[in-house]
Amino acid sequence: MQTDSSFTFVLFGGTGDLSMRKILPALFEAHRAGGMLADSGKIVAVARHAADRGEYLQWVNEHVKPHVSKNGVDEAAWTSFLARIEFVKIDLGNPEDFVHLRDAIQDLPGIRVFYLATGPSLFVPICHALASVGLNENARIVLEKPLGYDLKSSNAINDAVGEIFAEEQIYRIDHYLGKEPVQNLLALRFGNALFEPLWRREWVESIQITIAEELGVEARGDFYDNTGALRDMVQNHLLQLLSIVAMEPPHSMDSDSVRDEKLRVLRALKPIDPNEIGKVAVRGQYHAGGIRGTAVPGYATEPGVKPDSTTETFVALKVEIENWRWAGVPFFLRTGKRLADRVAEIVVNFRAVPHSALGASALRAGANRLVIRLQPNETIRLYCLAKQPGEGMNLASVHLDLAFDKFFREGQMEAYQRLLLDVIRGRLALFVRRDEQEAAWRWVEPILNEWKTSTKPPKPYAAGTWGPAAASAMLAQHGTCWLEEEN
């Protein structure tokens, strides 16, 4: 894809972990591909931990290079990429320093993109400082999660940013929306006559959405202990995936058409009754255990975590959508740290046939199933029943695969690469609109409030397992189980 759109990409938090692992590698891949970024486009890193451009480029060489190009770095492309990068030393706590940024970029052509890869406490001060030097015009601003701690704090940030930037200038990023299988889910549903007629309560028995991590809190103990899995993963990633799975067909793929339909799903979520939370929500916290043969500590002994912490590292939820398409269909959401595997997937369990002339195997749960794997290997797999070779009518489960890396010759685009290109080109469809965010916070708040005041600690689970037994029991009450338990 060619573009002649010039841009200036200003990266706040230019020496931070997110910039090193995701943002700069994504920009490099777009640069290396050729034609995706205008030749005149510039990247301006903003930080206070480097003395000058030379020292910053040395930092980039040391910390970014290991995260780019799985098959090795093209040195010529790397050298030309570094030529795009400028550096401005700024103390973000001193608004007067932003004059230096204005002077550095005021003569650069094209749209300005301000990417705030910082803590949310800096979002509002940065926006005010940009406005004070006139840099909020002809600009787009990208806000990383978490955007607030609850609905009130989220609204406060959105109100303050909205005074400086119009809603169409604000890009609230959720990188799961940029993943290739999520995009293919839209293509699968709305581009094929086969699936859309089945995508409803008459034919779908249940849906599972899982985001599981093997890692613990790593060096983020201080942050995570004040956040927890519900805020960190459910309010954004899981509810966004849910809205994509359950949305009605938009009239087009323009930004507001897609986001309007997602919003309708979020507003149709059955409100959580505080008295019923114990039946529809499970919170857990990992204890010491083993991951692939390596012993790992429990959450309460991680650096930065309070020894008596009741912060959840695991959440499982039963969710219902109160509309004609999905009434009565349970959606099971699950996320956790220190689980048995690193996986993100959507599992659509179709109902069994109403009557089988082929034996009981045709009536078993999960006989017909669609599994959309988001990570680590991005695939879509359709399970169905087929006759086994030989005598008799014996059925066995078989599957049809869409493995993107095998079917398409061109390499897949990483989520951050797609989203950053969309920001530069002014495409908002894959970014979260304010009303979506408010609806998600509003739905999770009863759970947050109940767990905040609860005297019951999170349910323990050993690191390296799939979480508390209560999460499996919740599904068993509905006659089903998590995918890995069936296998």
The reply, when asked if residue 92 is annotated as ligand binding, is yes
Which residue, 163, 152, 99, is CA-closest to 438?
Answer: 152
β-strands 170-172, 139-143 pairing: parallel
The reply, when asked if residue 306 is annotated as ligand binding, is no
The reply, when asked if residue 27 is annotated as ligand binding, is no
Query: Is the Cβ–Cβ distance between 128 and 96 less than 8 Å?
Result: no
**Residue 441: which H helix or E strand, with range?**
helix 434-453
Query: Is the Cβ–Cβ distance between 178 and 419 less than 8 Å?
Result: yes
In whole angstroms, give the CA distance from residue 379 to residue 371: 8
Which residue, 189, 207, 184, is CA-closest to 402?
Answer: 184
The reply, when asked if residue 406 is annotated as ligand binding, is no
In whole angstroms, give the CA distance from residue 127 to residue 141: 9
Catalytic residue among 63, 67, 237, 287: 237
Residue 237 is among the residues annotated as catalytic for this protein: yes
Query: Is the Cβ–Cβ distance between 189 and 249 less than 8 Å?
Result: yes
Residue with tokens 């189980």: 481
Residues 6+ apart with CB under 8 A from 356: 362, 363
Query: Is the Cβ–Cβ distance between 451 and 444 less than 8 Å?
Result: no
The reply, when asked if residue 179 is annotated as ligand binding, is yes
Q: Which two tokens stand for residue 360?
A: 């009981």
Query: Is the Cβ–Cβ distance between 140 and 426 less than 8 Å?
Result: yes
CA 480 vs CA 10, 121, 207, 429: distances in Å = 49, 42, 10, 34
The pairs formed by 53-60 with CB atoms below 8 angstroms and a separation of 24 or more are 53/85, 53/86, 53/87, 56/14, 56/15, 56/85, 56/87, 57/82, 57/85, 57/87, 59/15, 60/20, 60/24, 60/85
Burial class (CB in 10 A: 0-12, 13-18, 19+), 351: middle
* Binding-site residue set for NADP(+): 48, 91-92, 145
As annotated, the binding site for substrate includes: 175, 179, 213, 232, 337
Residues comprising the binding site?
Answer: 48, 91-92, 145, 175, 179, 213, 232, 337
Residues carrying an active site annotation: 237
